[in-house]
Amino acid sequence: MGTPDFAVPCLDTLVNEGYRVVGVVTQPDRPRGRKMELTPPPVKRAALKWGLPVFQPEKLREPDALEQVLALEPDLVVTAAYGQILPERLLKAPRFGCINVHASLLPRYRGGAPIHRAIVNGEKETGVTLMYMEKRLDAGDMIAQKAVPITERDHAGSMHDKLSLLGAELLKETLPKLLAGEVQAVPQDESLATFAPNLTREDERMDWNRSARDLACQVRGLHPWPVAFTTWNQKPLKVWWAVAKDEPAGADPGTIVRVEEDGMAVATGQGILLLTEVQPAGKTRMSAAEFARGRRIKAGERLGEG
């Protein structure tokens, strides 16, 4: 069970390792793009490539949908970013249980946006956890984990790709032991649990009173989706990339202190943030220097107003 690109390496691994996949459950096709064309989720495309039966219930908890999945009589259910809570009847049905590949080092960052929020929060390390599923979200006993560092050049997109492959690798290594009854699952320490709720529009807005380091982490954590933004001339200005500079702010937060070849240097609550790639409303991505030259932006102008 899975829906986005994150889950595809796990499905590919199950097939490549010779496990008999009796069915693939994924979210329904959704309208995408400017033309709002009905588009299948990545996991559906992967399943069809392998010739596997696909099920796309709008709500898995609906009786007809649940019975359809239970009729497959799975020995094991593997989920990765499926996007729906599994009904209790399904959780209890497979003899080897229901397991989930989660993109964090549980019990930290339970929830729907663990990759984005780990980077936004300035974490130096994250990872994947293979866990048994239970009624509570991401709270089941942990079977195995793998960690990976978050570098200063990493962003949500790069970590997504790293963690999806790491999750598939962990699945490949652990499944033989799990099916042989050789794994010892460990309960999560509830006192260490933190949550990573889904992102909102306010998570994307840059608050120039924060430090340059925090804002740089926000930009990286929201790159390439949904992308952090500020405002210029009361219109949204997406910030695709920015770097914290080790120098005093020297002006009120949000003030452009200089325009240079590498971008626009902006004062923050603590330090300077150099914007290097931006996207004004209705335009394509461009270098911040190009943006500044084209609009004759000078030191002293403000971002984040309006």
Closest CA to 97 of 181, 216, 164, 29: 181
Angstrom distances, CA of residue 283 to CA of 48, 71, 191, 286: 37, 51, 47, 9
Q: pTM of this prediction?
A: 0.94
The whole-number pLDDT of residue 35 equals: 85
Q: In what helix (H) or strand (E) does residue 173 lie, and over which residues does it extend?
A: helix 156-179
Taking the C-alpha atoms of residue 51 and residue 274, their distance in angstroms, rounded to an integer, is 49
The whole-number pLDDT of residue 34 equals: 80
Angstrom distances, CA of residue 221 to CA of 80, 113, 214: 21, 10, 10
CB atoms within 10 A of CB 67: 10
Taking the C-alpha atoms of residue 78 and residue 109, their distance in angstroms, rounded to an integer, is 20
**130, 106 in Cβ contact below 8 A?**
no
Would you call the peptide bond into 107 cis, given omega within 30 degrees of 0 as the criterion?
Answer: yes
Q: Is 57 exposed, middle or buried (0-12, 13-18, 19+ CB in 10 A)?
A: middle
Who contacts 121 (Cβ-Cβ below 8 Å, separation ≥6)?
217, 221
End-to-end CA distance of the chain: 43
Per-residue pLDDT of the chain in tens (306 residues, 90 and over written 9): 999 999 999 999 999 999 999 999 999 999 998 889 999 999 999 999 999 999 999 999 999 999 999 999 999 999 999 989 899 999 999 999 999 999 999 999 999 999 999 999 999 999 999 999 999 999 999 999 999 999 999 999 999 999 999 999 999 999 999 999 999 999 999 999 999 999 999 999 999 999 999 999 999 999 999 999 999 999 999 999 999 998 999 999 999 999 999 999 999 999 999 999 999 999 999 999 999 999 999 999 999 986
Output the CA angle 206-211-213, nearest 5 degrees: 95
Closest CA to 46 of 95, 96, 2, 76: 2
**223, 254 in Cβ contact below 8 A?**
no
The whole-number pLDDT of residue 156 equals: 98
Q: Is 189 exposed, middle or buried (0-12, 13-18, 19+ CB in 10 A)?
A: exposed
**29, 57 in Cβ contact below 8 A?**
no
**274, 216 in Cβ contact below 8 A?**
no
The whole-number pLDDT of residue 306 equals: 66
The whole-number pLDDT of residue 161 equals: 97
Taking the C-alpha atoms of residue 201 and residue 65, their distance in angstroms, rounded to an integer, is 33
